[in-house]
Each structure stands twice: as C-alpha cells, then as structure tokens.
Structure 1
Amino acid sequence: MQLKKIGMLAAAMMGAFCAQAQQQARLNTGWEFLRSDLGGIWEAVRPVGKGNPEASPIWEKVTLPHCVNASDAVDPDVNYYQGPAWYRTQLKIDNPYANGRTLLHFEGAGQKTEVYIYTTKVASHTGGYDEWTADITDAVAAFRQSPQFKGTVPLSIRTDNSRDLEMIPSSLSDFNVYGGIYRYLNLVYTPAVYFSEVKLQSNAKTGEVNISTFTNTAAPAGAVYKAVIRDAAGKVLQETSGAAANMVLKVTKPRLWQTTDPVLYTVETSVTANGQTYTQTNKTGFRTFEFKEKGPFFLNGKRLLLQGTHRHEDHAGVAAAMTEDVMREEMVLMKEMGVNFIRLGHYQQSRIILNLCDSLGILVWEEIPWCRGGLGGDVYKEQARGMLKNMITQHYNHPSVIIWGLGNENDWPGDFPEFDKEKIRTFMKELNDLAHQLDPSRKTAIRRCDFCKDIVDVYSPSIWAGWYRGIYTEYKQVSEDEFNKVNHFLHVEWGGDSHAGRHSENPDNALRKIKTGNGGDERAGDASLYGGAARVSKDGDWSESYICNLMDWHLKEQETMPWLTGTAQWVFKDFSTPIRPDNPVPYMNQKGLLERDNTKKEAYYVFQSYWAEKPMARIYGHSWPVRWGAEGEEKLVKVYSNCDEAELFLNGKSMGKKKRRSADFPAAGLHWTVTFSKGGNDLKVIAKKGKTVVEDKISFQYQTEKWGKPSQMTLSKIAEENGIATLEVKMLDANNITCLDAANFVRFSLAGDGRLIDNLGTSSGSRYVQLYNGRAIIRVDLRNGKNMAAVSSQGIPTATLAL
C-alpha cells in the first residue's frame, strides 16, 4: 500500500474512531489558562467588570491541547514547573436528547485533574495518560436554575503535576511528567442509555467477531441491540439485531491484518432505548501472532522480524500537546523508514497513535508508567492497577496491539527508603495475572528487571553495546547470551545519543579506550557525563557519524540472527528529560533519529536503507558543511541505500560503481575512499533498484588548514525569510581558522524588538547549546524592528551583531 494512501486512510479513521457518540465536539478554543494555584474555585468564576475591576490573577488565552511545560521543559536555566494549573471557559450546552447525558471526555490530562461546573466539583481523576469521562449533566442542570446563569455554563479545570512519591511515573524517570490538558478534550451528548464499553474479539481462523457491549446504566425492557460489519470499501458483510447485549458477526474468508497490508473492518454497534439510538463505531482486524519458544516471532503463521522503534509524546514548542496532524506526520515518517513495530514508552498513549498503528501496519507494545523508583504503598499500587485496567479496556480493540507492558526498569531504586525485590516481584505477579485476566489473547512484558524476568511472557534485558557499555561489535554475542536466558526474548532500547549537525572524520576513536567483554547492559551512573569507567556515552564525540556506524552494525547483524524476534531502537525522536541538564542540548535525550521538531538526522536514512521498500539513496553528510583533513588525504564517503548498486561522482568524475552487500560494513558496501579538492566539492550518487533510478547530491567545503586553540567567535546572519533571520556563530583560533572540532557551549541573547526562537529542544532552537563542528545556529523573529544579537562562551570574547 502506498504511504500516501495509508496517510489518507489514517486521516479518515480519525473521524470514525473519535465519533463514539451521536454528537461530539473537541473543545479546542475559548480557553484561559493560569500557571499557578488559586485560593479556591471562586477565584476562577467570580465576576470581573463594572464595580469589581480587579482581574487578579491574570489569565492567558490558550487553545487545547495545551501543556503547562511547553517551553520550560527545555529552558536551560530553570527546573520545569511541577504544580497546579487552571483552565477555564464558558460552555454553551445544547443537548438534543431528552433526559440525555452531557459528558466531558478527556483523552489525557496530567497528572491529577479536577473538574468544576461553576463552583461545584463534579469529577476528579488521577493518572496522566488514560482516558476518562466526567458526567456534568446534573451540575449543568442545577446551574441553569441559578441566578448566575446567563446562557453559558462556566467550566473550570485544575490540573496538577506536582511531585508525588505515591504516584506513577516516578520523577526519577528519564522523561518529563507533564502537566496540563495536553490531549483533546471533547464535549459529548448522548441519549440516556449509551455504551460505556464495546469489546471486540476477532478470530482469524473462524472469521467471527464476538461483540460484548456494556451500557452506562441498565437498559430498559425492550431495548434493541444491533451490530453491522463492513469491509474496507464500506460494503455491509453482515448485520444482526435483537435483545441481547452480546452479539456475533462472521466474515467469510476474512482478509488478514498484516504490517504490509493492514486490512481493517468497521463494526458499528447501536442500542435503541426509549426511542433514542446510540451508535458506536470501531475498527477491527483479523490476525494471529506467536512468539516461538526460544525462537523468532510469527505473524499470521509467517516469520516476521520486528523492526521497531519507540516514541514519547513530546514535540518542539508544545511538549506533550501534540495535534493530530503532528502525530500523523511523525507516524508516517516511521512507516516510511520501514518500521513495523513500536514500543510506546512509557505510558498509555493517545488513541490517535493507536489508530495510526492500526491503519499503518505497526505492531504495538504499550505499557503502564510503573517506571523506576521502586514500589510505593496502597495508593501507588491502586493507581497502577487502575491504569493497567484502563489501558487494556480502552485499547483492547486495536489489532496492532500484541503486548501489554507492566513496567520499565523496576530494578531502579530511589523513591523510598525500602527497596524490596520480593515485594516488587509479588506486585509484578499481581499485575501479570490481572493483564491475562483482562486479556488472555495478548502477551505481557517488561524491560530491564532481571529479578522479574520469569514472571512475564516476553522479556527485554538492557543491552546498550557501544554506548553505555562495551563496543558495538559485541552486540550479537551479548544478545545471544541474553536470548538463552529466557523463553521469549525481545530486545527493546538500543542505540545512543547524537548531537544533530555534529560529524567526525574519525568517529570510532573513543572505542580504543573502552573495556570489552563486560556485556552491554546499562548500569547505575552510566548515563552520567562524569566519572566512572570509560564508555562512549561519556567519552565519545556524540557525533552523527558514530551513531550511524553503531546503527549500521546493529542492523546488518540483525539480518544474520534467525532466532531473533526483533528489536526496537531507542528512540525515534529526541525528547525532553529533567535528568539530563548537561547534554549538548540541555534537558534533551538526544538518542532520536529525528530532532524534536521532526527534522531527520542522518541515522534515519541508515534504517531506511535496511528496512524501507521504496528505493532510496542518501549520501552521508547533508548537515556537514565543512569536512577537513590534509591535502591529498583519502577520505571515506558513505552512501546509505537499499538499491542493488550505486555509482558515486566527485566533482563530476565517476568514482566507480559498488554493489550493495549488507555484510560489507559500513553502509552495506556502498563506501568509497576518495581525495577531495581544497575548497568546494560536489558529490552525487546514482543508484538503481531494478528499473528504478534514484539520485542524491551534496556540496561542501574541504578545509586543509589546521586550527589551534579556540580564541574568538564570529556572529553572522546567513539567511532571512518572512522576517525570520538565521544567525550562525563560528569558533575560530587566533589566525581566524575555524576550529572544526570545537564543542564549547555558547549562549545566544537578543536585545530589541524581536525574540529568539528558542526553548525548542533542538540543536538550532536552544539559546544555550554545544557547538557542532565549531558552529551553531539560532533563529530570530525580527518583528520588523531593531535588534542586537550576542553570543557568549566561557573564556571567549563575546560577539555581537546588529540586526
């Protein structure tokens, strides 16, 4: 299926899945926001105006989805805000159903939420990632009878992401525990009787779909239930109706859901009671899967190597408040890379993501946020149980889901004085039993908690060969050793950090310092940039060049491991984390194949060269404007491609043709040693796959001058478009030669009418950032005014530029 068609199908599905009620609308506009607490609910609703002019505190106009930490999560100079926040709006309620119910459907809000109609508290919820509903019917009716009713109903919502040891996830987790209404909020009108849950069990062997329905209240005598199933073209295949709440539909010779052809069927269920009908639409798919004991993974009876990645709900400028369009863009980029599997780390994610996985053909491991810190008390455990129940109930119908994750790094202590492995095992067993009770058809799994690995169905140890421990050439042996310790092995989380735009002529240099033969697991302190044994995560250059080599090695080895179920690289896109303030982009986990704004790094194309079907070719170094070395020195050029052969041209001259062989590292044999000209150079590749021809080209400078110690900076404007100027700082030595290995931190600042476009968590969107090859850029919104930009670095004279 072409990806354009897949994207259109995914867009169409959004409406079908979201239309769970007869009438539903997203409440996106008309909101005011306050990032602090109030003295009480009266402060949110008290009248302001004539006779009462004080408008304190001052509220900010916002749209939903909205994250409290959209900016400060990556502000290099502050800790991100963890505390209460308020949202308020006026609702015009017009429920068309006699005796119907009016609901607020939250797709996710963090982390504790309270809902008020005028001054009446109508609902509360704990947990930032599962869906929930507040019934505001009675409170609205009561407010309509009050003298304060002027045609609209005041809605106020308090969210709170304060640190709380009796909540999951732990604040020790390597991701922000965001606050706000950061997923869609819906106003829903229903009849008096509606479905609170519809459960579909689809059997690929028989073609049967068993439908279990549950209503919000007992249906009256004479209620009629109906179910209809349609194929992908909308053709009705079967329908049934009657007085039974549970129904069975059957499809003759159903087409199977596959990662390359994700066939979905539409099931419409309805209940008619007291003359009113409620209809709910769901998608389903027919498929079987199996993790062979001590063997690979099978989908629909055929071996499938799981080609996976991970995602966090996090994006530049908005943090967790991603719109549907941005989510779709991200997931389509995954599919274009060749992904067929994803682990959603480390919490239940938006229904939109699950819908996209269904329609794009991406198998899913989804988990609850029991992540690090240890095990809390009764309140803590009850939240974990509740979030597991909600995740399984709310995402049960998705054919893409194959694994329910029960935890991550539960061997990581720190939140409590007691760290009792047996108590953790006991609770893990309880969750495992609960998951199988709620859904016997899927597997359970955890990652990195060796003392619980015998409890779950599928286990992933910690293997970070070439990053936190060891060297990447040990990956295959370490994986096989771990594979032999469990019945069902699946390797999730591997890779390493790269600072976008940083490249190296000798990327594997740090490996000479690394001790080998000690496994590839991550241990306490390995993520630190200071102290401890030599490791690439601390002593390497964090270049895209090194990470491409590491990824390349892993991917070519995976093709030679017939027993492997699959892997999931960590992580698809850079994301914010409070525990990494010293990274090249502060507060960012930079292990992504994309930057936080969906800009592709070079490693994206390494994966595409192994996994993608559509012919592609990519010369390494599109973001490497200046290479360096001696005159006449031979240099390596790599082309990542899934084509059968490629021909490289340097400055118009052919450097010869090469055949692709994945065993020929690096770049599957598509590498050349060439001699660059001093100054400007042009590279071009022509690659062929069957009758299809693809091309790629880059231009760059080759610097032969050697540089000394960094001693000065220049700041210049290198582009301007639509009032946005791009500034570049360069680090030079005393002889004005660019220091191409300089990795100093620099700080941009601006005085005047404009503003820095910063706090994005990207290499070109942070005011405090480490240089990449002696340079860094940032953008400025000039706002049609006068501005003075500056850049400073410790021990180096400040540079300025009038704009």
Structure 2
Amino acid sequence: MKKVCTTSLYRFTIVFIYLFLFSLTIGAQRDIKTINDGWRFLKQDVTDASRLGIDDKLWERVSIPHTWNSDAYTDKAYYRGIGWYRKNIYLSDEYKDKQLFVRFDAANTVASVYVNGNMVGEHRGGYTSFTFDITPYCLIGKENLIAVKVDNSLTDVPPVSGDFTFFGGIYRDAWLISTPKQHFELSDFGSNGVFIDTKDVSESSALYTVRGAIKNDESLVKKVEVVYTIKDPQGRIIKTDKNIVSIQPNEKRDFSYSGKVENPQLWSPENPNLYAIETAIYDSKSKKVLDKINNNTGFRWYKFDGKEGFFLNGKSYKLNGMCRHQDQKPIGNALTDEMHRRDMQMIKEMGINFIRISHYPQDDAILELCDKLGILAWEEIPIIDIVPEDANYSVNCENMLKEMIRQHYNHPSIIMWGYMNEILLVTQRKFKGDDLKVATDRALALANRLEKVLKEEDKFRPSVMAFHGSDSYNKAGFNDIVDIVGWNLYQGWYSDGFTGFEKFLQEQQKQHPDNPKIVSEYGAGSDKRIHSLFPKRFDFSVEYQQEYIEHYLSVIEKEKYVSGATYWNFIDFGSALRDESMPRINNKGLVYSDRTPKDVYFLFKAFYRKDVPVLHIASHDWQKRTGITKSGEPCVQPLKIYSNLTEVELFQNGKSLGIKKCENSTATWQVPFITGDNFLMAKGLFDGKPIETALSISFNSIPEILDAENLKSLELAINAGSSSFYTSPESGLTWLPDREYSAGSWGFIGGKPYQTQGEILATADNPLYQSLRESPDQYRFDVPAGRYEVELSFSDIFTPKEKLAYDLSEGTQDSSENESIFDIAINDKVVESKINPARSSGFYGLERKRFIIEVGEQHYIEIKFRSFSGKSFVNALKVRKL
C-alpha cells in the first residue's frame, strides 16, 4: 500500500477548502469606493444648506482631500468657522436591498452629515474616522444629495490649544460603502469591526485571537458562518477555520476565534513580516460570502524597562525616532495618500525605526506604511497645553481615545497609545496659586479617566504622556498614572546650554529610576537664508541646528536607560500663531515644507544607517557662500561632511585637504575658499569599496579694504546686530554679519545688539530686520572719494509684541510712550531730523531710507545717530558706489 504524506494531504485540504470557498464569493458582498470628486463648497454658513432645493451652482468646485485654510500661511487670524460641502450621488438598482454607509476618514473639527435633507449624524473630532448608516435616507434609482457641514471653530473638542495650525475641511478621503444586510459592525467608533489580539509571542509560537461583531439589519433570524483564514508573509495559507453564529433580527452579535502559529516569522523594523488574516461572513445555506475584512498582523513582543531601556523580541533596542505633522505648504493638511506614503519612505530611508504620530491620529496611509516598512509607532490624541473647565471636553476626549484605539488596533507597528502633551505648559502660564492647583487637579482627573479607558480598550499596549521639561509633572503625580514618561526637552534652544539636556535626564533617572523614559521631543529651528560662522541659540542658522542635533544624538545613544527619542519635527510645518524667522511656520524640520531634505537629514542617515554608505557634503543648504577677505587671499570657512564611513578625504579643485576620521558621524575641514567656483569632492571606503560624492560651491568675496576697483560692482550690505549671514531669495544679495570697525576697513563703533522673534510687517526678508544695533556711536566705512548711495533700514522692535497686542486689545496703546526719536547724520550733515520709525511705519513696521552723498578728501562715510527719545538704532545698512 502506497504511503501518503499527511503533511502534504493537510496542506492540500486547506488549499482545496479555500479555493472552494473562494469560488462561492461571487454574489452580494461589500463594495467600497471613494466619493472624493464633484463636490461643491462654500466657506460660510448658509441656512438650510442641507436642503435638496438649494442652488449651489455658484459654489466652488472642489475635490477631497480639501481644506479652506490656505490663508493660515499668510494670516494669524485664519478662517475658523463653518464650511459646507454638497455632492449628488446616483444610486442604481444594484444598491437595492443593500445596507449603505458613508465614511469620512477625517473632517476638522465638527462634522454634521445630511442625506437628502435628513441629518444622519454628527462627529466631534478632527483627526479620526467616522461612519454613518445612511440606508433609511437613500433613494434607489435616483440622485441622492450628501451635504456636510464642517466647523473648525474653537469648541469643546480637543485640541483647544497647540503649536500647529487647525486646518478646517474634509481633508481625508470620503467613501461610500455598501454591504448585504448581514455585515461586520461598521458603527463601532469608526473601526472596521474586526480586532486581532496577538499574545504569548515567542520564537517558537504565537497565539492570536480574532474578535468582533456582526450586525443583522434584516427582519429575519440569520445563521451565518464566520470563516478565518491566515496566510504567512509569503502568502501561503497556514490555517483556515470557522464557527457558526445565529443572529436575531436587527441584532448585533459578538464573535471570537483563537488560533496558534508555530515558529512565527517575527515582525521587526529590520524584518517587517506581516501575516494576513481574512475574516469572512458566509450565508450558512447558500455558502455565498456576505462580507469580508482583511487585516494584517505581526507577531512581536516588547517591553520598556526604567533602567535598561526598550527591548524588542527579547533584545535591547534603541528607538531612533521622528515626530511628524501632516501638512505641506501651500495645501495645508489636504495631502493625498501618495504624499503621506512619500513621507514615510523618506523617514525610513534615513534609518528611522520609530515614529511619534504627533499630535493626533493621522491618515491610514501612515500606519499602513509603518506596518509594511517596519517603523514602530506611538499614536496619540490631541489633548495639549491645558484642560478647559468643560464637562463635554472630557467626554469628547474619551470618545476620541476609543476611536483612535479601535480604528488602529490591528496595526502591529503601534507599541503605545498617548493622550496628553505638555498638559501643564499653558496651565502654568495662565494660572497661579489655588487656581493652578484646581487646573492641575482637573488635568489629573482627566488623565486617570483616560488611563482607565485605555486599559479597558487595549490590555496589551502601554500608555504614554509627553511632559515639557518641568519636574512639576512628577510632583503632581502624572508619572504615577502613565506607563511611559515622555520628555519634551529643548535645552540649548528654549534655554541656554546643550549640556542641560543630559543633566536633566540624569537627574530624572536618579529620582525616578523605575519610570521608563523616552525623549519625546527635541529640536532647533533653521532657515536656509541664515548662516553663521559663530552660531548661537535661537539665531535660526542652519549651522546652529546642526550643532544642536549633533550633541543630542550622541547623548541619546549613550544613555542606556533612555528607551529612545523622537526628533521634532520631520517637516517644517504650519503653525499660524508663530512669528520667528519664518512667520506661521515652525522650521525645526529635517526637510523643508516641500520635502527637500536639509543637510541635517543626512546626519540622521549617517548616524542610524549601517547597511548602506552615507557620504554627504553638508553644504547643499549653503552652496552660494559669502565671506570677508583681504586682497588676493582665500577665505577660510568650516565645511562639514556627514558620513558613516570610518574616514573621509576631502578635495578642493583637485587638491587634497587631508583625511579625517568621522566622529559622531561628522568630519570638519577648514576650507580656503577662493572667489568663484570651488569644486569639493569627498572620497572614502565602505566595506572595502570606494565611495565618493561632490558639490560645487560658489564663493563671493567681500573685501575688507574698500578701494576704487572693488567698489565698482559691490553692494556692501550689513545685517546690523546679527552674527549671521542673511541671503535674500528675492534679490540674491547676502547681508553680512555685523562687525566692529578697524582702521582702513568698515563696521560699527559702539552700541549693542538687540533682536526679536516678532514678525516684521510688509517684508519677505523678515529675519534681516529682526535684529538691530542699539545706540551705536556710528558706522564707519573707509572709502575713496566719490558719489555713494547709503541705505538705512529701521524697524522699532523694542516693545514686545505681546504687550502691543494686549494694549491694542485693551484700547490703551499710547504710541508716544515707547517711541524712539533720533537724528541721522552722515559725514556731520543731518540727513534725517528726528526720525520716528514707530510713528511713521508702526511698531514692527519697516522704514527704509536712501541718501546720495559725496565723499571728498576725508575718504570715509560716517553715519552717526543722536537720540532725543528712547533709543537710536539701525537694523540694516547698505553702501554702494555710484
């Protein structure tokens, strides 16, 4: 008798059953399609806009994703109010006897949905999905009107505060879903109705449970089969099973199934192995499929330890992370799925294995790519800065937390849920004494409430909160509520000194050694227009951001108890209330808003990637350099290379500048730049193979000694009160750092620098006028005889913008109180008497003055200031020979 292989027979039987069931799937089942196009939009509230008879032909034609807040990039008072969307959908006879649903992946902030004039539901929350059953309101064989009222006004829905723009609109996909009368529950907080638990995972085995609910929207008792099919990462069916469920009319019935996988292929960032689990409902009589849900899952286990850090699949593992906002100038948050996926590809490419999805749930495309690319994730709801005194707010927070967890429960990439960020930051600014205690206790009560909900919703993942750098969170007891403590630390940016970063962490570890810790934010801003040879905190130079990150990365890697860190932020993102060097933009990103990488992007790549060579000349952000030189001599300036190579050799115009070892993924040369093109080439070895890269840098020399020859084509422009170069993108002119006068040259005599972060009005060159030299004795330029144009720029920035705003709101501002009034004299001739920039252009306005002067035998230009009231000052100077 021929022996039959039982293993082969088992596999054959499984495949046969699966193919048999697949052959029966033709019939009434779920149909999903987008309804993104053909919408009419009006940015205002309209009475009865949901009615069928309203004429919307003059409304704007839009497609979803859509936001109405492109104005947030130009105006702090961007529109926060109501917008209406309307769309007609024809429902053919194929939808007869179907259950119909409309799903919106997100609409910010409150959305009210109407079908044929009937309100079908309201959703409060701008970052989670919602699904409404619209079956009773639909007309088969006719046009059906869907109208959506969206409101992004400040309400009792989080966030009520935050350092990002609250874009309004239906800014993620919209869907029409049809199912048979028996289907998975679609109204369960926006989830797909099926949940997968993985537990007791090891290298030898893993348990999983598939659970959920089925809805019977028919008036008859229905008996169905729930069939479970699991495929391994290679697409092979490894298990199929089923159970019988009997459902009463208009009833919802829970179901559950548990299985086991032997020798699972574990999920990790290096090997993101995904198992596919199909859950299908079959009619027990006809055997036809009624509804089907496909989910991926991954088998992994992990833990956070207060002393040892993070462990994944039994091994110590550092979470090298990134925070990510979801907007892109000028389209706001209305990104396509392709744009979201592009971001995740870029994040993975730089060697990141962990993302903080901040500060709110984001598009499903993000977590899809986290699962597939292998990026661990922290997801959170947007409770930020302060908890308002509103009972409805807490209810909305709880609902939002449930929505986030249920909608994204099945993603193996998610390893923690978060629900508060810097919740005492604005609280401590706004309240003092007993009022502060009441507000803190209110936040504590909400944290305890949400922690309880989180544990009920997910028994396996830990909770996390992000604290700003204050020990008040520990004193209040927030660290005792949450599983993992996140610290947003900006020492060296919002406060002095890089080394305060490691000192803070070490002190926290000493006081709270059992609290697992993660650095949830760190970052510094940079502006491509600003460069410095002597970078300083908050100067927004590209060079300071680089120094800041270089320090932080080394500390994070060294401190073992730190589970990991997430840099703030991947992109330069919209923050409408900000001023700084780029108003309405938070520019701490590693890539610009258009996703062009900054040089510092490659530092992360060099630091974290060991599998591919990284060799980057870190001057792509400064390819047109300027420097001050003596006649005929080169100008020596530092040039960095970011690399994961052991050592690198740098060449300038074919000449070697030497070999340097890469320490902290960085090597720096002092390069003697010459006027014109400088061709830089870097070479090294990676795994014994030669690697090289090149960059051409154009260098413009500014003479230290001014003479008749070099003045012919020179515009000598000075960034008064600043140590940074500033290049105007409009004109291409570089304004030089302020410098002290020396005999035979040019510069300031006396005075002191002063700067603001407030926006300068009516100029694209905002950073140039945010600094000034206060009360200078004079500026002097030693020049030959001739005719010159002198340009002086003034912006009165001495009164803090916050005080100005308050005074204006109170109607108490007296413009004469703090005005600066002074004379300007050039070569002892008063050219402007009692100039008053605040009176003529307003505080933070801009006033430019040009003067034509003759220089004779004295061979110098002396610009002096004599104050009558307040302080004399100048923000920028420019001299050119006519």
Q: Which residue of 2 aligns with 1:591?
A: 588
Q: Residues 399-548 of structure 1 correspond to what in structure 2 (within 5 A)?
A: 399-413=412-426, 419=436, 420=438, 421-448=440-467, 449-450=473-474, 451=476, 452-486=478-512, 487-507=515-535, 510=536, 536-537=537-538, 541-548=539-546
Gaps of 5+ in 1: 1-19, 49-54, 511-535, 712-717, 719-725, 750-765, 775-791
From 373, 376, 384, the counterpart of 2:397: 384
- Shift of the 708–47 alpha-carbon distance from structure 1 to 2, 3 Å rule, reads closer
- Shift of the 708–793 alpha-carbon distance from structure 1 to 2, 3 Å rule, reads same
Alignment of 1:160 onto 2:151? yes
* Matched residue type, 1:268: E
Aligned residues: 675
- Shift of the 259–169 alpha-carbon distance from structure 1 to 2, 3 Å rule, reads same
* Matched residue type, 2:197: Q
TM-score normalised by L of structure 2: 0.72
Deviation at 1:273, TM superposition (A): 3.8
Gaps of 5+ in 2: 1-27, 186-192, 246-254, 468-472, 705-715, 721-726, 737-744, 748-752, 772-844, 852-877
Alignment of 1:108 onto 2:106? yes
Q: Secondary structure at the match of 1:606?
A: helix
Q: Which residue of 2 aligns with 1:28?
A: 36
Q: Which residue of 1 aligns with 2:566?
A: 568
Structure 1 contact 746–768 (Cα < 8 Å) conserved: no
Q: Distance in 1 between matches of 2:560 and 2:184?
A: 46
Q: Distance in 2 between matches of 1:573 and 1:120?
A: 41
* Matched residue type, 1:479: L
Q: Which residue of 2 aligns with 1:213?
A: 212
Deviation at 1:440, TM superposition (A): 1.3
Deviation at 1:748, TM superposition (A): 12
From 156, 160, 164, the counterpart of 1:175: 164
Q: Which residue of 1 aligns with 2:870?
A: none
Q: Which residue of 2 aligns with 1:780?
A: none
Q: Distance in 2 between matches of 1:111 and 1:396?
A: 23
Q: Distance in 1 between matches of 2:460 and 2:35?
A: 36
- Shift of the 576–797 alpha-carbon distance from structure 1 to 2, 3 Å rule, reads farther
Q: Residues 630-779 of structure 1 correspond to what in structure 2 (within 5 A)?
A: 630=629, 631-662=633-664, 667-668=665-666, 670-699=667-696, 700-706=698-704, 707=716, 709=718, 728-730=731-733, 769-770=766-767
- Residues 136-192 of structure 1 show CA distances to partners (whole Å, capped at 9, x for unaligned) of 111013xx5xxxx8x32111111000112x22101x311112211001111111111
Q: Distance in 2 between matches of 1:554 and 1:110?
A: 35
* Matched residue type, 1:573: I
- Shift of the 748–696 alpha-carbon distance from structure 1 to 2, 3 Å rule, reads farther
Deviation at 1:793, TM superposition (A): 6.2
Q: Distance in 2 between matches of 1:116 and 1:495?
A: 44
* Matched residue type, 2:166: V
Deviation at 1:406, TM superposition (A): 1.6
Q: Distance in 2 between matches of 1:124 and 1:543?
A: 46
Q: Distance in 2 between matches of 1:704 and 1:685?
A: 27
Q: Secondary structure at the match of 2:356?
A: strand
Q: Secondary structure at the match of 1:349?
A: coil
Alignment of 1:46 onto 2:56? no
- Shift of the 772–287 alpha-carbon distance from structure 1 to 2, 3 Å rule, reads farther
Q: Which residue of 1 aligns with 2:242?
A: 241
Q: Distance in 1 between matches of 2:209 and 2:76?
A: 53
Q: Secondary structure at the match of 2:621?
A: coil
Q: Which residue of 1 aligns with 2:314?
A: 301
Structure 2 contact 516–562 (Cα < 8 Å) conserved: no
Deviation at 1:709, TM superposition (A): 3.9
Deviation at 1:364, TM superposition (A): 0.8
Alignment of 1:374 onto 2:387? yes
Q: Distance in 1 between matches of 2:558 and 2:77?
A: 45
Q: Distance in 1 between matches of 2:587 and 2:170?
A: 26
Q: Distance in 2 between matches of 1:229 and 1:738?
A: 77
From 165, 170, 183, the counterpart of 1:194: 183
Q: Which residue of 1 aligns with 2:332?
A: 319
* Matched residue type, 2:157: M
Q: Secondary structure at the match of 1:795?
A: strand
Q: Distance in 1 between matches of 2:518 and 2:402?
A: 24
Structure 2 contact 272–374 (Cα < 8 Å) conserved: yes
Q: Distance in 2 between matches of 1:215 and 1:103?
A: 15
Q: Which residue of 2 aligns with 1:99?
A: 97
Q: Which residue of 1 aligns with 2:873?
A: none
Structure 2 contact 76–577 (Cα < 8 Å) conserved: no
Structure 1 contact 373–413 (Cα < 8 Å) conserved: yes
Q: Secondary structure at the match of 2:558?
A: coil
- Shift of the 23–771 alpha-carbon distance from structure 1 to 2, 3 Å rule, reads farther
- Shift of the 505–89 alpha-carbon distance from structure 1 to 2, 3 Å rule, reads same
Q: Which residue of 1 aligns with 2:15?
A: none
- Shift of the 773–119 alpha-carbon distance from structure 1 to 2, 3 Å rule, reads closer
Q: Distance in 2 between matches of 1:702 and 1:436?
A: 62
Structure 2 contact 758–770 (Cα < 8 Å) conserved: no
- Shift of the 302–687 alpha-carbon distance from structure 1 to 2, 3 Å rule, reads same
- Quote the sequence identity (%): 30
Structure 2 contact 652–679 (Cα < 8 Å) conserved: yes
| Cα RMSD for the two superposed structures | 3.1
Deviation at 1:708, TM superposition (A): 5.0
Determine which structure has the larger strand proportion and give its number.
2
Q: Which residue of 2 aligns with 1:52?
A: none
Structure 2 contact 216–222 (Cα < 8 Å) conserved: no
- Shift of the 47–346 alpha-carbon distance from structure 1 to 2, 3 Å rule, reads closer
Q: Residues 136-147 of structure 1 correspond to what in structure 2 (within 5 A)?
A: 136-141=134-139
Alignment of 1:351 onto 2:364? yes
Deviation at 1:687, TM superposition (A): 2.6
* Matched residue type, 2:264: P
Structure 1 contact 374–416 (Cα < 8 Å) conserved: no
- Shift of the 47–306 alpha-carbon distance from structure 1 to 2, 3 Å rule, reads closer
Q: Which residue of 2 aligns with 1:530?
A: none
- Shift of the 478–654 alpha-carbon distance from structure 1 to 2, 3 Å rule, reads same
Structure 1 contact 168–383 (Cα < 8 Å) conserved: yes
- Shift of the 95–189 alpha-carbon distance from structure 1 to 2, 3 Å rule, reads farther
* Matched residue type, 1:152: E
- Shift of the 684–388 alpha-carbon distance from structure 1 to 2, 3 Å rule, reads same
Q: Which residue of 2 aligns with 1:62?
A: 62
Q: Distance in 2 between matches of 1:395 and 1:747?
A: 44
Moved more, 302-311 or 610-619: 610-619
Q: Which residue of 1 aligns with 2:45?
A: 37
Structure 2 contact 635–674 (Cα < 8 Å) conserved: no
- Shift of the 638–768 alpha-carbon distance from structure 1 to 2, 3 Å rule, reads closer
TM-score normalised by L of structure 1: 0.79
Q: Which residue of 1 aligns with 2:841?
A: none
Q: Which residue of 2 aligns with 1:754?
A: none
Deviation at 1:730, TM superposition (A): 2.4
Deviation at 1:609, TM superposition (A): 1.2
Q: Which residue of 2 aligns with 1:759?
A: none
Deviation at 1:671, TM superposition (A): 1.6
Deviation at 1:47, TM superposition (A): 5.5
- Shift of the 671–772 alpha-carbon distance from structure 1 to 2, 3 Å rule, reads farther
Deviation at 1:218, TM superposition (A): 7.6
Structure 1 contact 294–484 (Cα < 8 Å) conserved: no
- Residues 180-221 of structure 1 show CA distances to partners (whole Å, capped at 9, x for unaligned) of 100111111111121121110123233222110212348944
Q: Distance in 2 between matches of 1:309 and 1:257?
A: 20
Q: Secondary structure at the match of 2:500?
A: helix
Q: Distance in 2 between matches of 1:95 and 1:103?
A: 16
Q: Which residue of 2 aligns with 1:15?
A: none
Q: Which residue of 1 aligns with 2:87?
A: 89
Q: Distance in 2 between matches of 1:732 and 1:768?
A: 11
Deviation at 1:32, TM superposition (A): 1.2
